[in-house]
């Protein structure tokens, strides 16, 4: 069995309350397991950003305010610039102002990284999340 190391973490009370609710809602047996899973995802994402080589597959999910001037045109133009790595996309209206878009990608890691950076830089884009795996 691998050695387990105990660490201490401090949280503002309201964040700890939110964490406990999520831990309970998701059926985790402990805070530790929930934090462990999320730290692993965080580390993996940053490892990928440091080593953007090779063929990757994954998805890019973003939330944007569709009332922002030209945001949909800009996002479409950006996606056309990266059609060599985009396989498919899905657009969902989540409120009168907000949309969610998920883009399936496969191809060279460096190009996928550039696509994510361009999407994040677009005015009106509020969140971008990348899920990436080696192909």
User: What does the pLDDT look like over 99-131, one tens digit per residue?
Assistant: 999 999 999 999 999 999 999 999 999 999 998
Check: CB of residue 133 under 8 Å from CB of residue 56: yes
- Residue 89: burial class (beta carbons within 10 Å; 0-12, 13-18, 19+): middle
Res. 40: pLDDT tops 90: no
pTM for this model (two decimals): 0.69
- Report the Cα 104 to chain-centroid distance in Å: 12
The percent of residues in the chain predicted with pLDDT above 90, rounded, is: 70
Q: Which of 59, 57, 60 is nearest to 106 (CA)?
A: 57
The C-alpha torsion from 115 through 116 and 118 to 120, rounded to 10°, is 160
Domain locations in the chain as residue ranges: 13-49, 53-134
- Look up the CATH superfamily of 53-134: ACT-like. Chain A, domain 2 (3.30.70.1150)
Instruction: Name the β-bridge partners of 60.
Output: 103, 130
- Residue 80: burial class (beta carbons within 10 Å; 0-12, 13-18, 19+): exposed
């Amino acid at each position: 069995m691998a050695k387990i190391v105990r660490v201490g973490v401090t949280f503002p009370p309201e964040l700890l309350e939110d964490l406990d609710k999520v831990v309970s809602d998701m059926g985790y047996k402990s805070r530790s397991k929930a934090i462990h899973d999320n730290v692993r995802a965080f580390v993996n994402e940053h490892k990928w950003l440091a080593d953007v080589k090779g063929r990757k597959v994954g998805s890019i999910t973003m939330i944007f305010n569709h009332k922002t001037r030209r945001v949909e045109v800009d996002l479409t133009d950006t996606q056309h610039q990266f059609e060599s790595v985009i396989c498919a996309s899905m657009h969902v209206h989540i409120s009168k102002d907000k949309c969610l878009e998920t883009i399936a990608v496969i191809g060279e890691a460096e190009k996928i990284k550039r696509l994510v950076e361009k999407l994040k830089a677009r005015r009106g884009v509020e969140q971008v999340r990348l899920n990436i795996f080696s192909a």
